[in-house]
Amino acid sequence: MNSSDGIAEARQLPGPSPVPVPVPDAPGRLPVLGHLVQLGRRPLDFFQSLRAQGPVVRIGFGPKPAYVVNDPDLIRRVFVNDASDYDKGVFWEKVREFVGDGLASVSSGEFHLQQRRQMQPAFHRKQIARYAEIMSACLTERAESWQPGQAVSMDDEMQQTALTLVARTFFSSHLGQEAAHALEESFPTVQDGIIKRTLAPLGLMEKLPTPANRRFTAAMRNIWESCERAVDDYRATGADGGDLMSMLIHATDPDTGDSMSDRLIRDQVITIALSGRDTTANALAWTMYQLSRRPDVADRVAAEVRATIGDRPANLDDLMALDYTGRVAKEVFRLYAFWLLIRSTVKDVTLGGVPIPANTQVLVSPIAMHRDPSIYEDPLSLDPDRWLPGRAEKIPRNAYFVFGAGNRQCIGDRYAWTAVMLGLAAIAPRWELRPVPGTEVTEVAKVSVSPSGLPLRVVPRAMP
């Protein structure tokens, strides 16, 4: 036996089992309901309160235990190092009932990896540059539609803007105009319906013949059927319209050469729209909110955009030169990241010395970590300069966790970043945004954190 064989054999010898670390239980657990009341009423405050409890905290997810992971390095283990030990959580399992086998909703494994390989070219830099041209035109058009002194309901405005971005980047070709219109017309009903059905504890209400359920069913059918007709038209011509639908039609697995079925393409449209519209809309709305509260930041963004780009619409290459504006966008994503990501253990695991059984939900709150004063100095303040060299190095490596990580990291992260940067470039040089007196903006936990009640008065920015 050589020395390497001896080392390998020694490594396999049984040793003492690690002593389990006591896991703290979150206070306020109720019989049967667990902590669902806190999760339903004030979820952001609830997860923030758990930061002080320890790196891993046990909560009641209804009658079953679940574990909240607070430590950045342990979070990386869940999403990257030991990702094969975890699958998507209960949220996407329920979403899959309505949207099918899209990339975000399908279970981990070979099918998921195949989809990611097929779809990755649709989000490469060259393709994002094509989407950026569409986005820039849409955002400029939106900014030019406002009237001086107008109070713009920015939360509603950015929801509609984001939906227009999704529809036009999906279907910019004339072949997809019907599907683009269906997406803009029906998707708000679909999104609200899916969220309500996913959060419903018993799953009974959607089976009743109520007007709301009939509207949801009709809206889903409208999107499905129009997408299916668009797939037929795109396949019949074989043309590349420069849009996401063209990319999906021509997408193949580089390892096997397999292409997507018509139904799978339809499912991708729904799942990408579900995650992409909400994330982009909220990021844009919160960006406008911060510009209205921080005129000093808005002035610097406007000056940088004017000096770098001038009066023309921005493109993707321009964004690389906007250093300060990029740090503003990074701060917005930090402050208003996803409020909850869920994974489910596929086998018994140990996290931070805490044993967690198979088929247990593991919860991570990026927004709670990003607002932790032990990690970020003055965490609730928008501070673009915290990302300057010399300060950024003080932030733990795994403590910025906006779009997930590993093989289930959001494939559209660059898309969302591009939309926010283009929004800053289109709006900040044109308009000063001012709060409307007497209004209060609240944070609402949906897919991501949404603003509720965000009227801003737009005033033409003076030329320098």
- Measured distance CA(218)–CA(220) in Å, rounded: 5
Residue 207 CB coordination number (10 Å) = 8
Going by the DSSP 8-state scheme, the letter that residue 52 receives in this structure is G
Instruction: Compute the distance between CA of residue 382 and CA of residue 236 in angstroms, rounded to an integer.
Output: 50
Q: Kindly tell me the burial class for residue 37, based on how many C-beta atoms sit within 10 Å of its own C-beta (0-12, 13-18, 19 or more).
A: middle
Q: Closest Cα partner for 447 from 108, 169, 161, 191?
A: 191
For residues 348 and 161, what is the distance between their CA atoms, to the nearest angstrom? Answer: 44
Please compute, for residue 57, the number of CA atoms within 13 A of its CA located in the half-sphere on the CB side.
24
Residue 424's identity, in one-letter code, is L
Say if CB 269 and CB 263 are below 8 A apart.
Answer: no
Residue type, position 233, single letter: D
d(CA 341, CA 447): 10
CA atoms within 13 A on the CB side of 398: 17
* 272 vs 166: CA distance, rounded Å: 9
Enumerate the β-bridge partners of residue 445. Answer: 449
Residue 94's CB: how many other CB atoms inside 10 A? Answer: 16
Length of the chain as a residue count? 464
130: number of CA atoms within 13 Å, CB side? Answer: 20
Please indicate if the annotation marks 410 as binding a ligand. yes
Which residues belong to the annotated binding site for heme?
410
